[in-house]
Structure 1
Amino acid sequence: MNANDKILKLGIPKGSLQEATMRLFARAGWKIKPHHRNYFPEVNDPELQCSLCRAQEMSRYVESGTLDAGLTGKDWILENESDVVVVSDLVYSKVSNRPARWVLAVAGDSPYKRPEDLAGKKIATELKNFTVKYFKNANIPVEVEFSWGATEAKVVEGLVDAIVEVTETGTTIKAHGLRIIAELLQTNTQLIANKKAWEDPWKRHKIETINTLLQGALRADKLVGLKMNVPKEKMEQVMDVLPSMTAPTVANLYHKEWLSVEIVVEENKVRELIPELMSRGAEAIIEYSLNKVI
């Protein structure tokens, strides 16, 4: 491969995940700047060529080789039955940073309580192929129709008996007066690669590098750094309450009977930890955010 061939074509999901994906890449070291007039954002890496693509179509473009790699949902890979390499799971989202769920929902006042109760009924969903297979495997005869959008409203308007829809918190479904009766699939974002690109040593190394740094950015999202000064005679008392990924970093302060102590800790533990550290003699405690933890 010559220098001019060292370009990785990377798909960025357009739509609801676009901003969250670009923020994640920024923390990982890639600044992606979209243009409102086209689907090819700028990126601060001459070895990357980014394309905006709907998550629903991403796996097809990666499978065909139009893209070398891309980010899309596990749900759309299953829906399209795409033959791609799943490099890794990247659990992030626009709302809760936890896996989303495709659920079966019915009207709140309907008699249906389980999937079997929908035998002979009509279901609307954007995830049609997967839903057809789900009910076929469960031996439940239903009619599944594709929904172009506003799926929740179709139950309310009496157009269908149930829907299969994606949700993170269930808030929107409840707001439409619907009730979840089953979870069909948990899904999260996945980094996928074209099989031929994965076999290319340079492209595989580039994809693996991207994955490493994205995972590091996600890992850092729940962690913070703490730095503090501790009198030497109180170090053991402080050590008794210090959580750390490994051992804390400890250094002598210049011409002082004090130590500088630095740790990485889960952000949700800090509110209880800082008062405890102060009570044991720690001073000048600094909390700082992290971009990546590799």
Structure 2
Amino acid sequence: MVILWSEFDSRLSPLLIKYMEMIKMTKLKLGIPNGSMVDPKRGGLSYLLEKAGIYIDNLGKNKPLEINIPWIEAREARPQEFPALANMGYCDAYFCGDDWAKDWDLAGIESKKILGLDIGKVDIVVAVRTDILGTVIYASEYPNIALNYLKSVDNITQLGIKSTDRVWLSDRKDKAQLFPSIGKTELKAYYKLVDGVIEASQTGETLKNYGLVVEKVLMSSECSLYSKKELDKSKKEKLYNLKNMLEKVK
């Protein structure tokens, strides 16, 4: 029996497609942060990756990412979203700050720290205006870290936080109010919309420029490699290959 190539090809194509899908499924889906964390002049993650022989194309170009490591699929997002995105299956491992991992952890979404990279270091601090007698309203990009702090210092067991779209306000009867911020948090204190901030700071210079004084350091943070709590054996092996590559150059 003679089989024409066109017939052979039509029989093989579904198998090839299935095989390619299996290969893709076994790749480690790696979350690459966009923004300052990959800026060589700021977070330095891209420089570290290149030292490890990992090159990523299309960062910040509104295109799917491409990576030169065949067993990794690179996926882009904001670093503060990665713990939640990993929980939803978007990625298996990712780079983000310890601060964002902690904020999501306090919300009940756990992640596993694989390797601290010694870059992107900041402190999460409580800073207040110098012209107030008592702090009652805080702004923060870290709603869960901030809420956890406010509960501890004011001995409040129930802050009564309410959510209206992106703005959260507590009842007036409470001792403190929290305004979740999505950027330029110091400005909200400078223009007296809030009395203090719970914010990331590298040197403290920006806070000082806006008339804020650091009251307390809540935690230190660095850019780290994280993963979901559970990975299958194949992806776990790839994750630890990646860890070894980074460990040699950090």
Q: Structure 2 length normalisation: TM-score?
A: 0.75
Taking the aligned partners of 1:167 and 1:36, their CA distance within structure 2 comes to: 24
Alpha-carbon offset, residue 4 of structure 1 = 4.7
Q: Determine if the alignment matches structure 1 residue 87 to structure 2 residue 87.
A: no
Alpha-carbon offset, residue 177 of structure 1 = 2.1
Taking the aligned partners of 1:7 and 1:150, their CA distance within structure 2 comes to: 37
Alpha-carbon offset, residue 71 of structure 1 = 0.8
Which of 23, 30, 45 is the matching residue for 1:10?
30
Instruction: Report the equivalent of 1:59.
Output: 83
Compared CA separation, residues 9 and 101, structure 1 to 2 (3 A) = same
State the aligned residue count: 204
Q: Determine if the alignment matches structure 1 residue 70 to structure 2 residue 102.
A: no
Deviations 1:100-159 (A, max 9, x none): 111111223444xxxxx53xx000111111111112123164111111222111111111
Question: Does the CA contact (< 8 Å) of 1:88 and 1:192 recur in 2?
Answer: yes
Q: Which amino acid aligns with 2:32?
A: I
Question: Does the CA contact (< 8 Å) of 2:138 and 2:179 recur in 1?
Answer: yes
Which of 187, 191, 195 is the matching residue for 2:221?
187
Which of 126, 130, 139 is the matching residue for 1:124?
139
Which of 114, 129, 150 is the matching residue for 1:135?
150
Taking the aligned partners of 2:225 and 2:176, their CA distance within structure 1 comes to: 33
Instruction: Report the equivalent of 1:114.
Output: none
Compared CA separation, residues 7 and 122, structure 1 to 2 (3 A) = same
Over the aligned positions, Cα root-mean-square deviation in angstroms equals 1.9
Question: Does the CA contact (< 8 Å) of 2:113 and 2:224 recur in 1?
Answer: yes
Q: Determine if the alignment matches structure 1 residue 201 to structure 2 residue 233.
A: yes
Taking the aligned partners of 2:58 and 2:52, their CA distance within structure 1 comes to: 17
Instruction: Report the equivalent of 1:107.
Output: 129
Deviations 1:171-196 (A, max 9, x none): 11112222111111211122111233
**Sequence identity (%):** 29
Structure 1 spans left out of the alignment, 5+ residues = 94-98, 112-116, 219-294
Pairwise mapping of residues 1-294 of structure 1 onto structure 2 (< 5 A)?
3-19=23-39, 20-81=44-105, 82-93=109-120, 99-111=121-133, 117-118=134-135, 121-138=136-153, 139=155, 141-197=175-231, 200-218=232-250
Name the larger-Rg structure: 1
Q: Which amino acid aligns with 1:150?
A: K
Taking the aligned partners of 2:33 and 2:60, their CA distance within structure 1 comes to: 15
Alpha-carbon offset, residue 36 of structure 1 = 4.5
Q: Structure 1 length normalisation: TM-score?
A: 0.65
Alpha-carbon offset, residue 168 of structure 1 = 0.8
Deviations 1:190-230 (A, max 9, x none): 21112332xx2221111111112212211xxxxxxxxxxxx
